Structure 1
Amino acid sequence: MRKCRPVWILSVFTGLLLAGCGGAGETDSASGGKMEVYASLYPLAFFAEQIGGEHIQVHNLVPTGVEPHHYEPTAKDLASLSESDLFIYNGAGFEAWIEKTKSVLNEDRTRVVDTTESIDLLSASETSPAQEEHEEREHHDESEGEHEHDHSHYDKDPHVWLDPVRAKKQASVIRDALIEKDPKHKEDYQANYKDLAAKLDDLDQTFAENVKQGETDTFIVSHAAFGYLADRYGLKQVPVSGLSPSDEPSAKELKKIVKVARENDIQYIFFETLVSGKVADTVKKEVGARPLTLNPLGGLTRKQEAEGENYFSIMKQNAENLAKGLEAE
C-alpha cells in the first residue's frame, strides 16, 4: 500500500477547498439540483444509488479497476468531496486516510457517515489467524532493524459488505443518512430501501442453501476478505494473504496452508479480479487445485462495468462458485 501523503500537503488544500463550500442544503447546478453523494467503496455507492434513486447523484471515490486497499484520495478528489452533501464510508479501519479527509470537509455542508459504526465487527485474528503471525513477524523484523514491510493491518475485519445480512445494516445506515439530509423524500428512500433489503434477504437465502449442500466447510482464498461470509454460514476461510492483499505469507504460513488444503482435499482455490495472485498460484501448484473466482467486490473492473455487472450479479456468481468450491451437489 502506498504511504500516506504528509499532513502538510492536505493542510495546504484546506483553505482553498473550504472557500468554495456552500451552506447545508445547497446543490451543484451540474447535478441538476440532486443531492451530491460520495462513497469510499463500490458497494456503498451501489447501495446509495439503489436507495437514493432519482433524487441523488452518486460518485465512487475509487476509480474503476483500482484495488480499494491501495486507494488514497488525490487533491482533485478532495476538492470534489468538499462540495458534497453526503459522504459515506465503510469504516472499521478500511480507509486509513479518513481522518485527514474529514479535516478538509465543512461539517455544515457535508454529512459524514461511518456505515459500520453500529455493526458488531469481527476481530482481525478471528477472520484471519495469519494476521497475528504477520504482525508478530513484522514486529520482530523491526526490532532487529530490518526494513519495514509495507503492509496494512487492521484491528477489525473491514469486509462487512460481503455478508448480505450485515450489508443490509450498512444500507439502512445510508437510508437514514439520506432521510436526515433530505427529509422531503423520506417515503421514496424508505420504499427503495425496502426493495434493496428484500434482494439482500434473497441473496442471504441463496448463500445459505448453497453452503448447506457442500461436502466441505473449508475454502482457500487469495486474501482474507471473506471472514464475514464464513462467519455467517459456518465456514472456515483459509487465506493465503492477510486482510490486505499486499500482505504476503511467510514460508511457514505457506506450509500450513498447503497442509490444510491437503488434509481437507481442497479441489479449488479462490482468486480475485483486482489483485495478482502470485503467492496463491504457488499454493495452487503445490496442492494441484483448480482456480475459481471469489470476488471481494471492492470495485468493478472496466469490463464488468461495461457489461453492466453490479453488486447482486457478482455476489450471485460468488454464491455459485463458492458452492462449487465446497463441492455442493
Structure 2
Amino acid sequence: MLPLLVTVTAALLLAGCGSSGDNLQAKDGRVNVVTTFYPLYFMATQIGGEDVRVTNLIPTGVEPHDWTPKSRDLQEASQAQLFIYNGAGLEGWVDDFLHGVGSSSALKTVEASDGIQLIHGNPEHEEHAGEETEEHADEHDVDPHTWVSPKSALIMAENIYDAYVSIDPAHQADYDRNYQALKEKLEALDQQFTDGLAAVTKRDIVVSHQAFGYLSRDYGLNQVAIMGLAPDAEPRAQDLLDIAKFVKEKGVTTIFFEELVSDQLAKTLASEANVGTDVLNPLEGLTPKQEKAGDDYFTIMQRNLQNLRKALQ
C-alpha cells in the first residue's frame, strides 16, 4: 500500500494540497474533520456541532475490518485539520495512510482509544476459535472494539473534545456545551447497562464475532466467540462442536449475530444446539436501513441492552 500512498502524496503536493494551512479550514470557518468509522463520526459530530464538518471514511453498510483506504480518502485527509481514528489495531492501514498524508500537512491526529485499558488476547477465544492466519495474527494481540462499552466511549469522547479545544480554542464554549451533553448521555447509558445487567441470572454470551470484550469486562459478562477479533477468522469444525457443548452445559438460550457480516455460522450453531438467535450489534457501522430510520449509537446500544437482558434472564 505504501508505494500507492507515496505516489498519491506527490500528486497532492504538486496540486498544492496538504502543503499549505490556507486550505485546511473550510471557507465558512468550520473545522474539517475526518473520522475512520461510525462511532467516531457520531462522537465527532455530537461534540463538534455547527463548528465542524465531519467526513467519515468507511461508508454505510461496510464492515471496517474489510475496508482499506483509496486515493480519494488520502486527499480528503490531506485537506482536513483533524484526523480521528480508533487505534488499538483496528485500522491496520493507518500508519501507511498518515505517512502518505505527509509531514508537511498541518493535520492533527487523535487516537480515540488512548487512555483505555486495552484487552490483550482472550483465553476463552483461544480455547474455542480457529487457527489464526498470518494476516490476522497481529490483530489478535489486542482487542480493538473499545467503543462497544459506554465506559470506554466516555474516554473516547473526552479525547475528541480535547482535540477540538486544542485546534479551535475560539469555539471552546460550544465544544464544552456539546461535550457535556454527550457525556451526560453516555453516563446515563453506562448506568442503564450497570443496572440492567446487575440482576440477570446468566452471564455467558455466545457471539458470532469477538467484539464484546470491553462490554463483558465492564458489566460482568463472559464472552464466547464463534469467530475471532476479525469477523472473517473462520473457526474449525471442532470449535463449533466445543461451543455447542458449552451452550448446552451452561444453559445458553441465544446465539448472537450481527448485521454487517454473514449470520450463517451463528444460525448453524443455534440449530445444532437447539437454541434461538438474536442481534447484538458491535456498532462498527450502520446499515442503510438503520441510517434511514435515524438510528444512532444510543438507540442501538439500548437495543443491545434489551436483547442481552432477554437472553440472560
Give the TM-score normalised by the residue count of structure 1: 0.89
- 2:118–2:142 Cα contact (<8 Å) kept: yes
1:238-257 matches, within 5 Å, as 238-257=224-243
- 1:25–1:109 Cα contact (<8 Å) kept: no
- 1:27–1:34 Cα contact (<8 Å) kept: no
Confirm or deny that 1:16 pairs with 2:11: yes
Give the letter for the 1:51 counterpart.
I
Confirm or deny that 1:49 pairs with 2:45: yes
The Cα of 1:25 is off from its aligned counterpart by 6.7
1:64-213 matches, within 5 Å, as 64-107=60-103, 108-125=105-122, 128-130=125-127, 134-135=131-132, 138=133, 153-213=139-199
Higher mean C-alpha displacement, 189-198 vs 124-133? 124-133
**How many Å separate the matches in 1 of 2:41 and 2:48?**
10
The Cα of 1:76 is off from its aligned counterpart by 1.1
The Cα of 1:32 is off from its aligned counterpart by 2.7
Give the TM-score normalised by the residue count of structure 2: 0.94
Secondary structure in structure 2 of the residue aligned to 1:134: coil
Confirm or deny that 1:59 pairs with 2:59: no
**How many Å separate the matches in 2 of 1:132 and 1:261?**
15
**How many Å separate the matches in 1 of 2:135 and 2:164?**
40
**How many Å separate the matches in 1 of 2:144 and 2:128?**
13
- 2:128–2:225 Cα contact (<8 Å) kept: no
1:54-109 CA distance string (max 9 Å, x none): 00011111001101111100111111111111000000010010011011224442
Secondary structure in structure 1 of the residue aligned to 2:208: strand
Q: Give the % identical residues.
A: 40
- 1:230–1:236 Cα contact (<8 Å) kept: yes
1:114-157 CA distance string (max 9 Å, x none): 1112221011225733588533xx4xxxxxxxxx7777733110
- 1:67–1:275 Cα contact (<8 Å) kept: yes
**How many Å separate the matches in 2 of 1:34 and 1:128?**
44
- 1:125–1:132 Cα contact (<8 Å) kept: no
**How many Å separate the matches in 2 of 1:272 and 1:218?**
17
Higher mean C-alpha displacement, 251-260 vs 171-180? 251-260
**How many Å separate the matches in 2 of 1:48 and 1:267?**
37
Cα RMSD for the two superposed structures: 1.9
Confirm or deny that 1:325 pairs with 2:311: yes
- 1:124–1:131 Cα contact (<8 Å) kept: no
**How many Å separate the matches in 1 of 2:128 and 2:107?**
35
- 1:38–1:84 Cα contact (<8 Å) kept: yes
Distance change in 2, residues 1:50/1:25 (3 Å): farther
**How many Å separate the matches in 2 of 1:192 and 1:25?**
27
Distance change in 2, residues 1:131/1:46 (3 Å): farther
Unpaired segments ≥5 residues, structure 1: 1-5, 139-147
Of 2, 7, 20, the match for 2:2? 7
Distance change in 2, residues 1:17/1:127 (3 Å): farther
Distance change in 2, residues 1:35/1:106 (3 Å): farther
Higher mean C-alpha displacement, 74-83 vs 308-317? 74-83
Give the letter for the 2:247 counterpart.
A
- 2:35–2:84 Cα contact (<8 Å) kept: yes
**How many Å separate the matches in 2 of 1:68 and 1:8?**
22
Give the letter for the 2:233 counterpart.
D
Unpaired segments ≥5 residues, structure 2: none
Distance change in 2, residues 1:63/1:234 (3 Å): same
Distance change in 2, residues 1:130/1:44 (3 Å): farther
Distance change in 2, residues 1:150/1:88 (3 Å): closer
**How many Å separate the matches in 2 of 1:276 and 1:151?**
22
**How many Å separate the matches in 1 of 2:119 and 2:68?**
25
Of 246, 258, 270, the match for 1:260? 246
